[in-house]
Structure 1
Amino acid sequence: MSANSFHHLKEASVQIVDQLIDLLKKLNDEQYASLLPVLHGNSIGKHMRHVLEFYEALFSSLAVGSINYDKRKRDLLLETSTQEAIQQIEKIKTLLSGLHTDSTLLLRASFLANEEDEVEIVSSVSRELAYNVEHAVHHMAIMQIALNAHLPEIDLPSHFGLAVSTQKHLQQQVGKA
C-alpha cells in the first residue's frame, strides 16, 4: 500500500471521529444514554461505545500483531458519559496521528454462534482502518435514524452516517438535475 493511501485512510478515520465529537457536543448525558424504542431499547451511547471500542481494539492489537474484535474490552462508561466518549476519541486521534506505517495483522474471529473455534485471516492495519471507517459509518446511520425519530432538534450535517460513495452518488444526481 502506498504511503498516500495509508494517509488517506488515517484522514478518513479522523473525519469520522470528528463527526462523532460534533454529535457528542450536541447531546447531554441523558439524551446520550436514553434507551430508545427505535433502537430496540439501545441508546446512542451504546452505538458510540461500540464504534470507539473497535478503534481501541485495533490500536491495542498493534503491539501483538493480531486483532480480535470479539474480545474487545467493553467500557460501559463510554455509553453513558459524553465527556468520556470525547476523551476516548481524542485518544484515538492521537493514536491515528502516531500511526506511520502499514503492517500485517492476523484477524481472529468466530463467525458461527454455535462454534467456539476462531478463524484466522491475514489482514493489515490499513485494511482494519478501512473496516473501522465503514463500521463507524454504519453505526452513525443507525444513530441518525434514532436522532431523527427521538431528538429531531439535534441538527447534524446531511452527510452524517452516509458512506462516501453514497455522498458522491447523491452529488452526481444533483448535478444531473
Structure 2
Amino acid sequence: MKQLIISSINHNLNNAIALLDAIDSNTYKNTSVGPYYSSIGSHIRHTLDFFDCIISGLDSNNIDLTARKRDETLSTDKKSAINYIYQLQETLLSYVDVNTDYLINVTDNMGQGKVTVNYTLESILSHANSHATHHYAIIGYILDHLKVEIKINGFGYNPTSPVNKREGI
C-alpha cells in the first residue's frame, strides 16, 4: 500500500511540475486575485511545507504541521520549487522499504489550539496528498481569474470526482 501512496503523491507532484513549466514567473508570483491575494507560488510553497514537516519530524516521531519553514524562495522562484519537488520525490521513494509498523505523533492546530494525534506514515502521506490536491483546486481558481488557460488532466480534482466532471485545469 505504501508504494501506491508514494506513487500517487509523486504523480500529483509531477502535475505541479507540469504547471510550473507551463506558466511564467509573473503568473507564479501574481497576488492580484482576491479575496485572499495569495499567489500560485504561495500555494505550492504551502503544500511543500506540509511534506517538509513530515520529513523533518519522522526521525523524532513528532511531526508538527504548525512548524512550517515558509521558505519564500519556493513562493517566488519556480526553478527552486521544481528542484525541491524533485528532491521530495526522491525522499518519498526512499520510504517504500521503511518499516512503518508504528504510530507517529502528529501535531496540528485545529483552530482552538494545538492537538497531537496518532497517524501511520501512510495516513499522514495520504493526508498530505489530499491537502496538495485541495490547494491545486485553489490554484485553478487563481488561473481562471487571471485568464490563464492550461490543461493538466485531473489537476485540482479529487480522484473520486466523477470523470465527466474531472477535466483538470
Whether these two folds match at TM > 0.5 is yes
The equivalences for 1:158-169 within 5 A come to 158-166=153-161, 169=162
Return the index of the structure with the highest Cα Rg. 1
Give the distance between the partners of 1:44 and 1:124, measured in 2 at CA: 30
Shift of residue 158 of structure 1?
3.5
Q: Is the 8 A contact 1:140 1:160 kept in 2?
A: yes
Give the distance between the partners of 1:125 and 1:133, measured in 2 at CA: 12
Residue 114 of structure 2 corresponds to residue 109 of structure 1:
no
Identify the residue that residue 157 of structure 1 maps to in structure 2. 152
Out of 109, 134, 139, the position equivalent to 2:135 is 139
Give the distance between the partners of 2:110 and 2:115, measured in 1 at CA: 8
Tell me the matched-pair count.
163
| Change beyond 3 A, Cα 1:39–1:6 | farther
Give the SS at the match of 1:120. Answer: strand
Shift of residue 157 of structure 1?
1.9
Q: TM-score, normalised by structure 2?
A: 0.89
The equivalences for 1:16-27 within 5 A come to 16-27=12-23
Identify the residue that residue 62 of structure 1 maps to in structure 2. 58
Give the distance between the partners of 1:109 and 1:64, measured in 2 at CA: 16
CA deviations over 1:103-141 (Å, ceiling 9, x no partner): 42101123234x4xx322111111111001100000000
Q: CA RMSD in A?
A: 1.8
Out of 28, 45, 50, the position equivalent to 1:49 is 45
Which runs of no fewer than 5 residues in structure 1 stay unpaired? 173-177
| Change beyond 3 A, Cα 1:34–1:67 | same
Which runs of no fewer than 5 residues in structure 2 stay unpaired? none
Give the distance between the partners of 1:165 and 1:27, measured in 2 at CA: 27
Q: TM-score, normalised by structure 1?
A: 0.85
Give the SS at the match of 2:151. Answer: coil
Shift of residue 171 of structure 1?
5.1
| Change beyond 3 A, Cα 1:141–1:60 | same
Where do 4+ consecutive residues of structure 1 move more than 6 Å? none
Give the distance between the partners of 1:151 and 1:45, measured in 2 at CA: 17
More helix by share: 1
Identify the residue that residue 170 of structure 1 maps to in structure 2. 163
Q: What letter is aligned with 2:163? A: L
CA deviations over 1:7-64 (Å, ceiling 9, x no partner): 1110111001000000011122211011032452111001010001111111111111
Identify the residue that residue 30 of structure 2 maps to in structure 1. 34
Give the distance between the partners of 2:146 and 2:11, measured in 1 at CA: 25
* Percent of aligned pairs with the same amino acid: 23
